[in-house]
Amino acid sequence: MSADPLAALLHGPLPATPVDALAPWWEAHRELPRVASMWRAALGGFGAAGMAWAFASGYQEAMRALASRIDAAPAPDLRRALCATEAGGNHPRAIETRLRGDAAPFVLEGEKTYVSLGPAAEALWVIAQRAEPRAAVEGRKRLVAVRVEATAPGVELEALPPGPFVPELPHARVRFREVEVHAAMCVEGDGYLRVLKPFRTIEDLHVMAAVLGQLIAQMRRAGAKAELLEGTVFELAAFVELGRRPDPLDPALHRALAAGLAGLSARVDAWREAGAYVNLPAEMRARFERDLALLQVAGRAREARLARAREAAVQGEDT
């Protein structure tokens, strides 16, 4: 594959056999050019047979981007998964998994109910609360993030049944039973502000880049009009530019991202209405229709993020 991602997407060779299973996906993902994570996400989506493996590439590149913000030298070929969601959701108030102890080694205990790519993960980034009462900050749980090997003693992964969309993508329930956590495994600072909250934006950016890469491959495979293809590539380039912003918590970024997500939905609708859409292989078209629900995941959280960003802008104008 060309080291120039724009050229590869526009007129590079289409994958003869799009990746459609865990092992070949990971092998293909590791072989992607060492370019910026947003472009790698798009190239991963370009080479995937459907939304499931496009999402997998976007998710892994989001985790790699997060790691690069925190680790001095993150391992590039490590499959990572973020463990946040619990029985009550992934809001900070819902986090009951605990990191106990006054000094390292600490002890991690709890359960995460839904971990994307959990069965395939090598490293788990776990959001937990500090168990000691003095750890509370202004009435909010103090959250921390710790990195745990998926094969560490006390880590139990239970594969979940396939979901109604992207069923090829594995998910897991993960239990932590007195897992030993050393100081080097702890991310410095507030686990919510440094890991959980920024990852929501980083993940949106990378997964949408992967979805656009998937759309570009579909359009080329079906012989779509050049204008539709070029417009989709332009939208991808805009997402890549947003991914270069240094602060994932920036309200301005959130407002622009919301517009980008709305544009992506319109682009998907335009593609489905295009005459060339029927030229896609029937199985690929059926999968695409089935998996469109992926674009609506976390919709309420995105709406709340946009409302806060707009409110911050108004407050800034008033000062």
Residue-wise pLDDT for 238-253, tens only, equals 999 999 999 999 999 9
Give the closest residue to 47 by CA, choosing from 3, 4, 12. 12
Q: What is the pLDDT, as a whole number, of residue 76?
A: 66
d(CA 233, CA 173): 37
pLDDT digits over 117-164, tens only? 999 999 999 999 996 544 444 556 899 999 999 999 999 999 999 999
Tokens of 138: 């202004």
Tokens of 34: 């060492």
Q: What is the pLDDT, as a whole number, of residue 246?
A: 95
For residue 9, the SS3 value is helix
Give the closest residue to 116 by CA, choosing from 183, 194, 58. 58
Judge contact between 32 and 62, C-beta under 8 A: no
- The mean pLDDT of 33-47, rounded to a whole number, is 96
Residue with tokens 């370019």: 35
Residue type, 97: T
Band the pLDDT of 272: cuts 50, 70, 90: very high
Lowest mean pLDDT among 179-183, 219-223, 298-302: 298-302
Q: What is the pLDDT, as a whole number, of residue 72?
A: 64
For residue 301, the SS3 value is helix
Flag whether pLDDT at 265 surpasses 80.
yes
Domains of the chain: 5-64+194-318 (no CATH), 80-190 (2.40.110.10)
Flag whether pLDDT at 104 surpasses 70.
yes
